[in-house]
């Protein structure tokens, strides 16, 4: 039988009739230990206004209470629209076990311009039956974001360290957006004797952020956070930066432009030291910065080599040691994406099931933000983003060949591509095993293929 191969760039739903047919997904297969549900819909608006170049779409599925900072994100999809106009189709993949029959779930969609300003948005509630493999939400009508909200989102993000909590603030006029513990809150400016005081509400509790230059005070209800100190921004210097972190006590190091910043987080206080970046000293196995910090010596040594975050297991390319006087702090540094880009990865287990032929599923993360590989019967191509907080693969931008194979291979391919779209986190073991995970134990286990 002659097979015809062609690539499809998906502007709407993934158009692989065999690999992504919802009817196929209903057929049980031993390669899927945990059933997934696909949620689709279409977004549009009434105004005759074209979306600008560089626009992106973010769609999330969460528990109904969006104000709850602990409300989990059950599914997420980010789409580079690449010139697409409304109507826009989206496709979310969630673990069926994470949904409850008869309960309503919040679907939020936001279109941003290339500067990150929200243009159109919607938040609606829907009952999703976890017993089905496909939920079609139909047409959802977007509304235009007000200029005030857009101006706030376009403002530069300023990072603050409040004890063990990292806070991001965006200021615009008499409003601000505060990102705290995974949730974003909108505050408005209130009267104050000094500084800029912003107040709002979070999960029914009063929220206050009192900014005084490079310092701030943060309170949520009866909780008063440790003193907040402003971090070095990426725009301070030449735009490039290097970061490292560790624990016991918690600390972070950032090198941006010609400055070095060390943050040490104690039980009740946060200390931030900033010094002019000393000359780099080359070592046999890395490099070092040596300087005086107050009345003690400070040495920062960076040694290339796999380093795993002690708490999350996220891999980093460097081991970093900070010695301040008699105190030594060890941790990890560099960009985690550099570890992913070291070569080709072979899938050894999918959703808890070991693969008899692991060479049939592979992944390669490329420096240009593209991820590609073999999906069993076909090959795929998509976009990805990875940092210290997680990993996501854009299912909407996915492309794939269209070859037909045996039904069990096609079922496994559909399960693999669905799992890729649900990935939110990545971690690594000491032996180099890479694990990609998503909501409710969606899991892809990989091993590097020796060159």
Torsion angle of the four alpha carbons 280, 286, 290, 293, in this order, in degrees rounded to the nearest 10: 110
Short-list 104, 123, 105, CA closest to 43: 123
- The answer to whether 160 and 167 are in contact (CB under 8 A) is yes
What is the C-alpha to C-alpha distance for residues 343 and 363, in angstroms, rounded to an integer? 9
pLDDT the model gives residue 253:
92
pLDDT the model gives residue 149:
54
What is the C-alpha to C-alpha distance for residues 344 and 367, in angstroms, rounded to an integer? 13
Q: Are strands 143-144 and 134-141 parallel, antiparallel or unpaired?
A: unpaired
pLDDT the model gives residue 155:
58
Confidence band for 298, pLDDT divided at 50, 70 and 90:
very high
Minimum mean pLDDT among 84-93, 146-155, 254-263, 290-299: which range? Answer: 146-155
pLDDT the model gives residue 359:
75
Give the tokens for residue 106: 């919040």
Residue 152: pLDDT above 60? no
Residue 36: pLDDT above 70? yes
* CB environment 109-126: b (16+ within 10 A), e (fewer): bbbbbeeebbbbbbeeeb
Confidence band for 150, pLDDT divided at 50, 70 and 90:
low
For the chain, percent of residues with pLDDT exceeding 70: 80
Q: Are strands 223-224 and 215-220 parallel, antiparallel or unpaired?
A: antiparallel
Give the mean pLDDT of the chain.
Answer: 79
Confidence band for 27, pLDDT divided at 50, 70 and 90:
very low
pLDDT the model gives residue 193:
57
Strands, sheet with 56-62, edge to edge from the N-terminal-most edge strand = 73-80, 56-62, 104-112, 118-127, 143-144
The whole-number average pLDDT for the span 179-208 is: 78
Q: pLDDT digits over 305-356, tens only?
A: 999 998 888 999 999 999 999 999 999 999 999 899 888 899 999 988 888 7
Q: Which residue has the higher pLDDT, 204 or 40?
A: 40
The whole-number average pLDDT for the span 182-202 is: 76
The whole-number average pLDDT for the span 265-287 is: 82
């Amino acid at each position: 039988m002659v097979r015809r191969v062609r690539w499809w760039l998906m502007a709407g739903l993934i158009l692989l009739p065999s690999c992504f047919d919802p009817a196929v997904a209903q057929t049980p297969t031993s390669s899927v230990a945990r059933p997934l549900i696909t949620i689709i819909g279409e977004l549009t608006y009434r105004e005759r206004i074209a979306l600008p170049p560089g626009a992106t779409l973010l769609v999330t599925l969460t528990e109904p209470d969006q104000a709850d900072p602990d409300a989990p994100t059950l599914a997420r999809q980010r789409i580079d629209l690449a010139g697409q106009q409304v109507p826009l189709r989206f496709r979310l993949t969630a673990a069926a076990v994470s949904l409850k029959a008869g309960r309503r779930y919040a679907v939020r969609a936001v279109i941003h311009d290339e500067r990150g300003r929200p243009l159109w948005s919607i938040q609606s509630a829907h009952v999703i039956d976890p017993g089905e493999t496909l939920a079609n939400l139909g047409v959802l009508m977007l509304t235009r974001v007000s200029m005030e909200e857009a101006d706030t989102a376009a403002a530069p993000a300023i990072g603050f360290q409040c004890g063990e909590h990292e806070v991001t603030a965006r200021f615009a006029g008499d409003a601000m957006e505060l990102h705290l513990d995974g949730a974003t809150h909108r505050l408005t400016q209130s009267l104050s004797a000094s500084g800029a005081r912003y107040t709002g509400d979070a999960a029914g509790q009063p929220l206050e952020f009192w900014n005084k230059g490079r310092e701030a005070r943060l309170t949520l209800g009866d909780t008063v956070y440790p003193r907040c100190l402003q971090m070095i921004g990426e725009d301070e210097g030449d735009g490039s930066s290097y970061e490292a972190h560790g624990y016991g006590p918690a600390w972070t190091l950032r090198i941006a432009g010609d400055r070095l910043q060390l943050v040490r987080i104690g039980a009740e206080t946060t200390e931030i030291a900033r010094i002019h970046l000393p000359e780099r000293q080359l070592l046999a196995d890395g490099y070092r910065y040596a300087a005086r910090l107050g009345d003690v010596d400070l040495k920062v040594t960076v040694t290339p080599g796999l380093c795993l975050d002690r708490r999350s297991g996220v891999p980093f390319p460097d081991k970093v040691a900070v010695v301040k006087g008699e105190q030594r702090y060890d941790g990890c540094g560099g960009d985690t994406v550099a570890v992913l880009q070291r070569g080709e990865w072979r899938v050894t287990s999918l959703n808890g099931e070991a693969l008899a032929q692991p060479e049939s599923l592979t992944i390669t993360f490329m420096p240009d933000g593209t991820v590609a590989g073999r999906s069993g019967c076909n090959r795929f191509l998509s976009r990805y983003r990875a940092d210290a907080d997680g990993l996501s693969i854009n299912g909407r931008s996915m492309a794939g060949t269209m070859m037909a194979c045996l039904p069990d291979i096609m079922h496994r391919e559909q399960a693999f591509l669905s799992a890729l779209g649900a990935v939110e986190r990545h971690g690594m073991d000491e032996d180099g095993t890479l694990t990609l995970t998503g909501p409710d134990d969606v899991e892809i286990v990989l091993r590097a293929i020796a060159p």
